[in-house]
């Protein structure tokens, strides 16, 4: 397919490494074999180095993707539809055989053996946020556009119901994948600016099917500091700490991609449920403020969360034009060597960047990544964790914590997390309220 230059918001295509030299990281990746992170020649036919050969790895990859849903933690297909097609999908271009611009269409999702995908209802930050102006009224258009994007995702699923199905929880994913032979679609929102400073709107998004919210995008907001601008709150604000508890309480997974390292560290210390970096890579392998530091990786292990490795060239290699599938695998093996395979997933950011890394140009290429992991000696059960089982486990843990909180609340237990209520602009003045009290003197 001919490369198409897609008009994206400036900050979404400017994620370049801090360092202009070669990627700098320790020898964990290269010591992975001797530490037992990868093994020489998992199963199958071996090549001269003792690992699974390419043909055998390709066959094994297809088998794995038939047994385990590959779940992409962050896909901006809805953003491309808004930008290029004006959200008009009621035509034949959006059927199962169409070839669309960008990195994603239903045909290539099937070719890539996709089993699940978080579709992002992304809307850019208000310009005022970039001047640390967080007033409620500047977010009204953002909320409006977010609801349009959530509606778009539902319409896209409904229009292609023979291929796609909405997943509302972790159990839905396996049912949709195994029983219905469809791609499980989940919804993410990429920044708390999209809730307009309102916990009520967060809860309504959850009712509409949103299952994770990124704390920031490329600007600070009322709740937290972003990775790509100077800090304002020193990480989380007081409102941000309350929002973390509310997201835990309702079962909304917290996404820390795009947040500053200080924000991420504070959330990892505070959150009672596992969190996710849905489309980030490792700072050790490619220094970049958008990538995850070793300190955060260590805290992520204790939190039992997940880092979903991105395919963004500027987050993958210090020379983005040289970034390749091999470098994506290097990031995966680095995380495995530091905190283990239980905390790794895949979060591409397809259609949210101009192009992917060499060898992972679009969603049809997922089997090649799985095959390369096998060639490198990653055991089958660990590959299954990476492609989907880890993120399903994180979602399940988030759901279980929320269920426990609901049960505590029903039982009237004092330690149950309180519902976070909005501060509402006063509708009635004191005169009207006084009159109502006079009419109903014996009532609350």
Assigned token pair, 247: 């997201």
Assigned token pair, 322: 């040289």
Place of tokens 């989380």: 236
Which residues on adjacent β-strands are paired with residue 233? none
What confidence score (pLDDT) does residue 438 get? 96
Pick from 362, 389, 367, 328: which is nearest to 75 by CA? 362
Residue 102 zone, left/alpha/beta (φ > 0; ψ -120 to 50; rest): left
Rounded-to-integer distance, Cα 55 and Cα 133, Å: 55
**Most distant CA pair in the chain: distance in Å?**
90
Could you tell me the CA-to-CA distances from 249 to 169, 204, 276, 292, 409 in Å, in that order? 15, 14, 16, 25, 10
Catalytic annotation present for 95: no
What confidence score (pLDDT) does residue 317 get? 98
- The helix or strand, by DSSP H or E, that contains position 385, with its residue range, turns out to be none
3-state DSSP assignment of residue 116: strand
Assigned token pair, 223: 């709740």
Rounded-to-integer distance, Cα 198 and Cα 202, Å: 7
Burial class, 36, CB count within 10 angstroms (exposed 0-12 / middle 13-18 / buried 19+): exposed
Which residues on adjacent β-strands are paired with residue 259? 226
Angle, alpha carbons 298-303-304 (nearest 5°): 95
- The helix or strand, by DSSP H or E, that contains position 307, with its residue range, turns out to be strand 306-309
Residue 3 has pLDDT above 60, yes or no: no
Catalytic annotation present for 294: no
What confidence score (pLDDT) does residue 39 get? 55
Choose the catalytic residue: 15, 56, 72, 76: 76
pLDDT tier at 13, thresholds 50, 70, 90 = very low
Rounded-to-integer distance, Cα 441 and Cα 434, Å: 10
Domains, the chain, ordered by start:
10-439 (3.20.20.140)
Pick from 230, 239, 227: which is nearest to 265 by CA? 227
Cβ neighbours of residue 229 closer than 8 Å, sequence gap 6 or more: 130, 218, 219, 220
The answer to whether 317 and 25 are in contact (CB under 8 A) is no
pLDDT in tens, 110-146: 999 999 999 999 999 999 999 999 999 999 999 999 9
Choose the catalytic residue: 190, 255, 265, 362: 190
Cβ neighbours of residue 434 closer than 8 Å, sequence gap 6 or more: none
Catalytic annotation present for 217: yes
Assigned token pair, 38: 């990868």
The answer to whether 200 and 422 are in contact (CB under 8 A) is yes
Rounded-to-integer distance, Cα 211 and Cα 201, Å: 13
43 phi, psi to nearest 5 deg: -110, 165
Q: What is the DSSP letter of 37?
A: S
DSSP codes, 358-423 = BT--SGGGHHHHHHHHHHTT--HHHHHIIIIIHHHHHHHHHHHHHHHHHHHHHTT-TTSPPP----
Choose the catalytic residue: 79, 193, 206, 279: 279
Choose the catalytic residue: 258, 317, 331, 343: 258
pLDDT in tens, 168-179: 999 999 999 999
pLDDT in tens, 100-120: 999 999 999 999 999 999 999
What confidence score (pLDDT) does residue 185 get? 99
pLDDT tier at 190, thresholds 50, 70, 90 = very high
Strands (E), 150-286: 164-166, 183-189, 210-214, 253-255, 276-280
The answer to whether 124 and 137 are in contact (CB under 8 A) is no
Could you tell me the CA-to-CA distances from 194 to 14, 126, 213 in Å, in that order? 21, 9, 9
Cβ neighbours of residue 190 closer than 8 Å, sequence gap 6 or more: 74, 120, 121, 122, 123, 213, 214, 217, 255, 258
What confidence score (pLDDT) does residue 38 get? 62
pTM: 0.91
Assigned token pair, 221: 């907001």
Q: Alpha helices, DSSP H only, in 68-134?
A: 77-85, 106-111
What confidence score (pLDDT) does residue 184 get? 99
End-to-end CA distance of the chain: 67
Dihedral (CA of 228, 230, 234, 240) sign: negative
The whole-number average pLDDT for the span 225-241 is 99
| Bridging pattern class, strands 70-75 and 253-255 | unpaired
Residue 50 has pLDDT above 80, yes or no: no
Catalytic annotation present for 279: yes
Catalytic annotation present for 86: no
Pick from 170, 210, 185: which is nearest to 403 by CA? 170
Burial class, 414, CB count within 10 angstroms (exposed 0-12 / middle 13-18 / buried 19+): exposed
Residue 208 has pLDDT above 70, yes or no: yes
What confidence score (pLDDT) does residue 1 get? 34
Catalytic annotation present for 144: no
Catalytic annotation present for 362: no
């Amino acid at each position: 397919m001919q490369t198409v230059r897609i008009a994206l918001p400036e900050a979404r295509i400017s994620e370049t490494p801090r360092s202009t030299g070669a990627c700098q990281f320790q020898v964990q990746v290269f010591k992975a074999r001797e530490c037992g992170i990868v093994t020489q020649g998992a199963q199958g036919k071996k090549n001269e180095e003792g690992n699974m050969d390419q043909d055998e790895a390709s066959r094994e990859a297809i088998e794995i993707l038939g047994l385990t849903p590959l779940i992409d933690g962050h896909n901006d297909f809805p953003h491309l539809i808004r930008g290029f097609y004006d959200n008009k999908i009621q035509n034949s271009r959006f059927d199962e055989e169409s070839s669309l611009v960008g990195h994603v269409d239903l045909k290539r999702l099937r070719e890539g053996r996709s089993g699940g995908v978080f579709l992002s209802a992304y809307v850019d930050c208000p310009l005022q946020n970039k001047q640390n102006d967080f007033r409620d009224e500047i977010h009204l258009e953002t909320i409006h556009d977010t609801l349009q994007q959530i509606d778009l995702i539902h319409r896209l699923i409904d229009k292609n119901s023979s291929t796609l199905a909405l997943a509302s929880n972790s159990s839905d994913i396996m049912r949709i994948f195994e029983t219905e032979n469809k791609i499980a679609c989940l919804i993410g929102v990429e920044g708390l600016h999209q809730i307009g400073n309102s916990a009520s709107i967060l809860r309504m998004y959850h009712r509409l099917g949103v299952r994770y919210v990124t704390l920031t995008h490329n600007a600070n907001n009322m709740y937290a500091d972003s990775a790509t601008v100077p800090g304002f709150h020193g990480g989380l604000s007081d409102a941000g700490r309350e929002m973390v508890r509310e997201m835990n309480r309702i079962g909304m997974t917290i996404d820390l991609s795009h947040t500053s390292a200080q924000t991420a560290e504070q959330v990892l210390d505070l959150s009672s449920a596992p969190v996710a970096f849905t489309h980030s890579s490792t700072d050790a392998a490619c220094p970049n403020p958008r990538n995850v530091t070793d300190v955060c990786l260590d805290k992520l292990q204790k939190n039992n969360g997940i880092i979903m490795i991105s395919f963004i060239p500027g987050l993958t290699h210090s020379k983005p034009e040289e970034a390749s599938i091999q470098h994506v695998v290097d990031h995966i093996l680095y995380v495995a060597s530091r905190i283990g395979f239980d905390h790794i997933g895949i979060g591409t950011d397809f259609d949210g960047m101009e192009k992917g890394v060499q060898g992972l140009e679009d969603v049809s290429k997922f089997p090649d990544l799985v095959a390369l992991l096998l060639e490198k000696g990653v055991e089958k059960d660990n590959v299954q964790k990476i492609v989907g089982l880890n993120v399903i486990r994180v979602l399940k843990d988030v759901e279980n914590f929320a269920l426990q909180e609901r049960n505590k609340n029903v039982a009237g237990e004092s330690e149950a997390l309180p519902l976070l209520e909005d501060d509402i602009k006063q509708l009635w003045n004191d005169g009207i309220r006084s009159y109502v009290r006079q009419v109903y003197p014996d009532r609350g």
